[in-house]
A = this chain, B = another copy of it.
């Protein structure tokens, strides 16, 4: 019986050698050709992402997570796209108020609209949060969901960022587009969990981020079902807040909309802290990331003192707990996609 066994083992050895060679060639080729995160410079954040994805996707690994449970949540403002000098949704609301003014002659004598329409931004800013909320209500409600969606898309197609002079949807972070695509290629389901308005994001997130509307969680107002006299059903947007998806609202929103705890979460401000805590507290491997805006030259530099996207407590907690903190200036090779690029990331 020795000879057949020897013959067999020689064939086995050949097959193994051949297999190993092919394997190794494939591995090298994969490494050389397809860095999944080309806009991320080599460093701790990139390594921690790739290590985490390898651990949770390797069957038999102690950290393996079945695809159905690979939920990744991302804040939007300041995490997936720029949020300075003001949240882009605020820019939308102000532009829209100006556009709607002819239908509202009473605004020319009524604050906060008067200062806004007169272009007195300083006086408008002095109306504070109350003034802003009034403009948001006036520009976001009293119409059907379909009319609002169309207004958002019209604005997105025409508005330009004051500093970069580009459409707002081109001010998304190229490294994050790559990260979203990389996670999806590894069986993750990617969600947005944003303090921004859900109806403001959904019309364009699929095209821009590859994230479909049903995977967008955000703040929202009450809508009401109506049958028009000719029997056409519509949903009317009412001037009443329903849910604020910010701070402690983020884990609430995740539980409500997703119903599963994420294993991967990325934010950039104290408004994301509870989402990061909630994600980190699950059993098993977890990835927690924070974008730190450190790049005044290519974008903006801000953290503890900023009115928009304040990052203070979450920065301390992230450092203390060893979360992955991205230094935008150091870690990101490219910030924004090249103009006109296909940014769907799919």
Taking a contact as CB atoms closer than 8 A, the residue among B145, B260, B277 that contacts A214 in the complex is B260
Is B145's CB under 8 angstroms from A255's CB?
yes
From B212, B215, B233, contact of A251 by CB (8 A): B233
Contact (Cβ within 8 A) A278 B198: no
Indicate whether A214 sits within 8 Å of B258 (C-beta atoms), given known contacts A225-B248, A225-B252.
Answer: yes
Contact of B257 with A257 in the complex, beta carbons under 8 Å = yes
Give every chain B residue within 8 A of A258 (Cβ-Cβ): 213-214
Task: Encode contact with B along A217-228: 1 for CB under 8 Å, 0 otherwise.
Answer: 000100111010
> Once the chains bind, are A255 and B235 in contact (CB under 8 Å)?
yes
Q: Measured between alpha carbons, how far is A214 from B217 in the docked complex, in Å?
A: 11
- Nearest CB to that of A257 among chain B residues? B257
Interface string of A252-287 (1 = CB under 8 A from B): 100111111000000000000010011001000000
Contacts A225-B251, A225-B278 known; A259 to B220 CB distance under 8 Å? Answer: no
Beta-carbon nearest neighbor of A220 in chain B: B256
| Contact, CB under 8 Å: B256 / A198 | yes
**Chain A: interface residue count, which band?**
35 or more
Interface string of A138-170 (1 = CB under 8 A from B): 000000010000000000000000000000000
Chain B contacts for A145, CB-based, 8 A: 255
- A68 close to B206 (CB less than 8 A): yes
Taking CB atoms, residues of chain B closer than 8 Å to A251 are 225, 233, 235
Q: Which among B213, B224, B277 is the interface contact of A227 at CB below 8 angstroms?
A: B277
Q: Is the CB of B252 within 8 A of A235?
A: yes
| In contact, A214 and B235 (Cβ under 8 angstroms) | no
Residue from the list B189, B214, B281 in contact with A259, Cβ < 8 A: B214
In the complex, the answer to whether B277 meets A233 with C-beta atoms within 8 Å is: yes
CB distance from A122 to the nearest CB of B (A): 37
Q: Give the CA-CA distance A202 to B257 in the complex, in Å.
A: 11
Interface assignment of A82: CB less than 8 Å from any CB of chain B: no
Task: Return the CB mask of A272-314 against B: 1 if under 8 Å, else 0.
Answer: 0010011001000000000000000000000000000000000
- Within the complex, the shortest CB–CB distance from A128 to chain B, in Å, comes to 27
Are A256 and B202 interface neighbours, CB within 8 A?
no
Could you tell me the distance in whole angstroms from the C-beta of A15 to the nearest C-beta in chain B? 33
Which chain B residues lie closer than 8 Å to A260 at the CB level?
A: 212-214
A223 is contacted by which of B199, B252, B277 (Cβ under 8 Å)?
B252
Docked complex Cα distance between A238 and B212 (Å): 31
The winner among A216, A233, A278 for most chain B CB atoms within 10 A is A233
Known A198-B259, A256-B223; judge A274-B216 contact (CB<8 A).
no
* Chain A residues within 8 Å of B, Cβ to Cβ: 68, 71, 145, 189, 198-199, 202, 206, 212-216, 220, 223-225, 227, 232-233, 235, 248-249, 251-252, 255-260, 274, 277-278, 281
> Closest 4 CB pairs between A and B?
A213-B259, A225-B248, A202-B259, A214-B258
Report 28 cross-chain contacts, Cβ distance below 8 Å, ordered by A residue.
Answer: A68-B206, A71-B214, A189-B214, A202-B259, A213-B258, A213-B259, A214-B214, A214-B257, A214-B258, A214-B259, A216-B259, A220-B256, A223-B252, A223-B255, A223-B256, A224-B248, A224-B252, A225-B278, A232-B281, A233-B251, A233-B274, A233-B277, A233-B278, A233-B281, A235-B251, A235-B252, A235-B255, A257-B257
